[in-house]
Amino acid sequence: MTPSWRKPAGMLGILLLITLWCVAIVSLSTIVGSWQWLGQLAFYLVTGLIWIAPLKPVLLWMETGR
């Protein structure tokens, strides 16, 4: 069985997604920093979890090619 190119490409894509997501969230930190602590908590909780949503299709593509 020959190794698939999808796994390395998918891993690089996931790393790129995480990097871009972190840059986007950090760039908003000056705005979010002026919010009250409860708003900051909600923002960082949601943005800390929402990046996981695009991973399922990428992982499926890596494993099956669909």
Res. 5 pLDDT band, cuts 50 70 90: confident
Q: What is the mean pLDDT of residues 6-19?
A: 91
pTM: 0.77
| pLDDT of amino acid 39 | 95
Q: Nearest CA to 11 among 58, 53, 60, 52?
A: 58
pLDDT tens per residue across span 30-49: 999 999 999 999 999 999 99
Task: Give the span between the Cα atoms of 21 and 31, in whole angstroms.
Answer: 16
Token readout for 57 is 């299709």
